A = this chain, B = another copy of it.
Amino acid sequence: MRGAVLYGPRDVRFEERETPKIMKPTDAVIRISATCVCGSDLWPYRGIQPMAQPTPMGHEYCGIVEEVGSAVTRIKPGQFVIGSFFASDNTCPNCQIGYQSSCQQAEFVGGAQAPLLRVPLADGTLVATRDVPSENSIPNLLALSDVMGTGWFTADAANVKPGKTVAVVGGAVGLLGVLSAKQMGAERITAMSRHETRQKLAREFGATDIVTERGDEGVERIKELTNGIGADSALECVGTQQSMMQAIQSTRRGGYVGYVGVPHGVELNVEQLFYAHEHLHGGPAPVRRFLPELIDLVWKGKINPVKGFELTLPLDQVAEGYRAMDERRAIKVLLRPTR
């Protein structure tokens, strides 16, 4: 089997790797229908996050179950399934309150940019659709695996409710944060973006306003749009010091900041936070919590998270996929294995 392996900065190779197989009785092996390049893959790709060794890439996936281990009872071969980047048993105390990405047995699922993938804790991790979906739905279902699941969690963590005002900081996840906020009934949704394509998409997903300024100026514009008090909720989907501060400062007193951008060197002065009087919640999205609901929304055609969004490439062009994301020629790259 050939799959994507990152060797170092801007060096992704599509090369022969060991074919995944059942290693534990709770495993499943799935045949990938589609996978993605994630914004977070760009951190090591750009050399900002160091890597100890060549690493099989990809953590977003959906596909058909090929084989299951002897202890797997809920998931069956032939089913179309979606899972998250963290395998979870879905039964431990952390899973039971909806934090499956903090499962006591959590295991990162890597190497999905390949035709086959081993998924640990299959019964807890995977959610099957009622039928095998149409080709058209596959990109939307794939999006639930991370980017849409994470966008949804951000809005949930930021307590978005009907009638509220929302400010959104960030790229692909941010766009789906806009979509999520819209779906949750927010009245005014401001996307903070300097990129015309993203601004257009943000509007299509439900943004009522666009702010192109960053930093203090951006915060000032959000205040102007919210009667001087700031947004009820801010969605932080980047993970830099600047984006985090922008989200915190754009939020009103007593408001909510949901943050899902993997933080890179971000430090908070608690005194500043203290007087901001905000609620802060975030972390690796517990996508598994939301999968049943989100699958249902896609199935009923109520959300279309990859509308105008993705560049689809055959899996063997994965290196071009990384380049397109890195150079901002694409917001999100989908990869489809060829048969």
Contact = CB atoms under 8 A, between A and B. Distances in A.
Contact of A253 (B99, B262, B273, B278): B99
Contacts of A282: 273-274
Given A277-B99, A280-B281, A269 B270 contact: no
A132 interface: no
Interface stretch (A37-45, A59-67, A90-98): A90-98
Interface string A178-210: 000000000000000000000000000000000
A322 interface: no
A284 B278 contact: no
Nearest to A281: B279
Interface string A265-307: 1111111011111111111101000000000000000000000
Contacts of A252: 93-94
A227 interface: yes
Interface in A235-269: 244, 252-254, 259, 262-269
A284 B279 contact: no
A229 interface: yes
Contacts of A101: 277
A140 interface: no
Contact of A102 (B93, B227, B268, B277): B277
A236 to B, nearest CB: 10
B283 A98 contact: no
A270 B283 contact: no
B267 A269 contact: yes
A274 B283 contact: yes
Interface of A: 93-94, 97-99, 101-102, 227, 229, 244, 252-254, 259, 262-271, 273-284, 286
26 contacts: A93-B252, A94-B229, A97-B254, A99-B253, A101-B277, A102-B254, A102-B277, A244-B270, A259-B274, A262-B274, A263-B273, A264-B271, A265-B271, A266-B269, A266-B271, A267-B269, A268-B270, A268-B273, A273-B280, A273-B282, A274-B282, A277-B284, A278-B281, A279-B279, A279-B281, A280-B280
